[in-house]
Amino acid sequence: MSAGIKYSDVEVGFELPKIVHNYQRQDLVKYANASGDHNKIHLDESFAKSVGLPDIIAHGMLTMGVASRVVTNWVKDITAVKSFSVKFSAPVVVPNDGKGTDVEFGAKIEEKMADNLVKIAVEARCNGTKVLGRSLIIAQLS
């Protein structure tokens, strides 16, 4: 596997293709089973409300996982991803309305570093609110 994207082909400010991901209740159950995180704030509406949340909220790590796709869908090469850090700034609330909640993910090259590395700032917004704080992926291009 080699990164399909050339370091020389990208500039600071380059925007990666956006992703819109729809979260439904059953997606949280699926993620809980795949990740082993069965915290009831993600699965049980009455429990979530009893601890002061507006409704069930999505796993932050589900949002981080979807966010990783903005970069991996672009670079196609898993070995290119060197680090990934996020801050969770607001919850993604998932009501039981059959429509689910849309989150829009985007990313922009913030810095070109040595050794063909690029620093990519990742963003995620739900109804206009940033659900990720400062979030960065370092990737090595070819």
Partner 1 sequence: MALNLAFLNRSYPSLETFKVDQEKINAFSDAIGDHNDYVKQGYASPTFLISIQMGAMEVALFDPELGLDYSKVVHGEQSFEYKKPVKAGDELSFISTIEDIKSKVGNDFITIRSDVKDASGNEVATLKATLIARGTDN
Q: Name the site residues for partner 1 (rule: CB under 8 A).
A: 1, 21, 27, 30-31, 33-37, 39-41, 47, 51-52, 57, 59-62, 64-66, 68-69, 72-73, 76-79, 81-88, 91
Nearer to partner 1, 8 or 134 (CB): 134
Nearer to partner 1, 21 or 109 (CB): 21
Nearest in space to 31 (alpha carbons), one of 48, 22, 43, 45: 43
What's the closest the beta carbon of residue 75 comes to partner 1, in angstroms?
9
Contact 10, 107 (CB under 8 A): no
Nearer to partner 1, 51 or 114 (CB): 51
Residue 58 CA to residue 105 CA, distance in Å, equals 15
Distances (CA, A) of 73 to 67, 79, 81, 106, 136: 10, 13, 12, 12, 16
What's the closest the beta carbon of residue 29 comes to partner 1, in angstroms?
9
